[in-house]
Amino acid sequence: MAKAARRITAEDAAGLVRSGMWLDYGAVLGQPDAFDEALARRLGEVTNLRFRSVLTTRPRAVLEADPEGKHVHWFSTHFSGYDRRKHDAGLAHYLPVNLGEVPDYYRRFIEPPDIVVFKTAPMDARGFFNFGPNTLWMRALVERGTVVIVEETPTLPHVMGVGTGVHVSEVDYIIPGHDRPMAELPKAPATEVDKAVARLIAAEVEDGSCLQIGIGGMPNAVCSLLAESPVQDLGIHTEMMTDGIVDLYRAGRVTGARKQLNPGRMVCTFALGSQYLYDFIDRNPEVEFHPVDYTNLPHNIMRNDKVVSINNTTQIDLQGQAASETDGFRHISGTGGQLQFVRGAYGSQSGKSFMCLASTYEKQGERRSRIVTTLTRGNVVTTPRTDMMYVVTEYGMVNLKGRSIAERARALISIAHPDFREDLERDAYEHRLIPREFP
């Protein structure tokens, strides 16, 4: 029997919460604000509340109202800067996932949430609420949630695609949201190092390549260079839609004409950037949003030819293991879709995956190498050595596929910062990564 959704206030919706409940706040720009603020005012009256979400873009009222973590336990499948700070304070927890598998986790392994609440665009004439640029695993949440609450938000972009909304018959309660502008993620400026890395990658992109582009200065720099290049008929099949991809499209480089999967369409599962991006995706039929188990699973990614996957890492060892989500035991982001796109690109006909990093970084006033003999104690491997293809720093590009440990070590040392190469080579010999008799 179809549900009869009721319109209630955010305060009434928060009144449905009982101590010990599991709540799910959805994802990214879809996390609720009006409900969150109303629930924060009930903390103490209700306790031991557990929340799941991903990539928090604004401070959460329930966390701010509970600075000692007495009432709220926050779980995230990928940290934003805000989530990271709360984790540093002992107020948040990371849930390890390959992002493309999360819908299956909800359907098979994760305890169903007692209440699911998230932002949507206002209901349309057919009775549908659009998820906005947060498709991800929202359909699985609606299926699994005991109570489903939507927070109608007029400023949320309305997106096109598959699995992008929920019908009123699947909703229990509707509450009014705010008319605040969406949270924005400013486009990271490209440094000279970013531009040097981007030049090496851009030279490898061919006509008809299908791009997955991550977040950050290096991927943005790649987009800028490609926008000025003669390359034609690029396609987009990515996890995250960014400002840089919009720039590339508007420069006439993206047509999707040579894609085998969703030809002529830019495919993604969520978007995060500036208002420029949000205006572009709003009701734009050329941008298709799909659930994350469509965009991120390798067997779908590889259906397009010439997939080019571009991702960042923070540390790589001489065997080719990439640690992209931790700094020792400190969690900083998440696995996200990195490993799945690395594998999908490799499985694609003529596909290529690129792992980018600056050769050095500063910590406690000291310059350190990002290419190391062995990973920092506590660092988590995001992409295993067996999956690594191209590694790129400002000093060059090497391909690790089909190379022995000694060959990998030599290759990676060659693109490390010159100031660290001698020490890396000495360590490699000492630990027998490179045998003495190696040619």
pLDDT for the residue 219: 84
What residues pair up with 387 in beta bridges, in sequence order? none
Phi, psi of 131 (to 5 degrees): -70, -15
DSSP symbols for 261-318: SSTT-EEESEE-S-HHHHHHHTT-TTEEE--HHHHS-HHHHTTSSSEEEEEE-SEEET
Among 155, 177, 157, 175, smallest CA distance to 165 is for 157
Q: Where are the domains of the chain?
A: 6-176, 192-430
DSSP symbols for 398-416: EE-TT--HHHHHHHHHHTS
- Is residue 95 within 8 A of residue 77, CB to CB? The reply is yes
Please, which contacts does 104-111 make with residues 24 or more away whose CB atoms are closer than 8 Å? 104/140, 104/293, 106/137, 106/140, 106/141, 106/143, 106/144, 107/140, 107/143, 107/144, 110/52, 110/144, 111/22
Q: How far is Cα 228 from Cα 276, in angstroms, rounded to an integer?
A: 20
Tally of CB atoms within 10 A around 45: 10
- Is residue 154 within 8 A of residue 124, CB to CB? The reply is no
- Is residue 324 within 8 A of residue 382, CB to CB? The reply is yes
CATH class, 192-430 region: alpha beta
DSSP state letter for 5? -
Both tokens of 378, joined, read 């506590």
pLDDT for the residue 217: 81
- Is residue 375 within 8 A of residue 317, CB to CB? The reply is yes
Question: Considering the domain 6-176, what is its CATH architecture?
Answer: 3-Layer(aba) Sandwich (3.40)
Per the document, the length of the chain is: 439
- Is residue 280 within 8 A of residue 245, CB to CB? The reply is no
**Per-residue pLDDT in tens (0 to 9) along the chain, 439 residues:** 456 799 999 999 999 999 999 999 999 999 999 999 999 999 999 999 999 999 999 999 999 999 999 999 999 999 999 999 999 999 999 999 999 999 999 999 999 999 999 999 999 999 999 999 999 999 999 999 999 999 999 999 999 999 999 999 999 999 999 999 999 998 878 899 999 999 999 999 999 999 999 877 888 889 999 999 999 999 999 999 999 999 999 999 999 999 999 999 999 999 999 999 999 999 999 999 999 999 999 999 999 999 999 999 999 999 999 999 999 999 999 999 999 999 999 999 999 999 999 999 998 899 999 999 999 999 999 999 999 999 999 999 999 999 999 999 999 999 999 999 999 999 999 999 998 765 5
Please, which contacts does 265-268 make with residues 24 or more away whose CB atoms are closer than 8 Å? 266/235, 266/236, 266/238, 266/241, 267/161, 267/236, 267/237, 267/238, 267/295, 268/236, 268/238, 268/239, 268/240, 268/241, 268/295
Tally of CB atoms within 10 A around 188: 16
- Is residue 409 within 8 A of residue 430, CB to CB? The reply is no
Q: How far is Cα 197 from Cα 359, in angstroms, rounded to an integer?
A: 10
DSSP state letter for 122? P
pLDDT for the residue 285: 97
Residue carrying structure tokens 């259906």: 303
Give the chain's radius of gyration (CA, Å). Answer: 23
Both tokens of 33, joined, read 């604000």
- To which H or E segment does residue 369 belong? strand 366-369
DSSP state letter for 306? S
pLDDT for the residue 439: 58
Among 63, 89, 87, smallest CA distance to 76 is for 87
Residues with catalytic function: 239
pTM for the full predicted model: 0.95
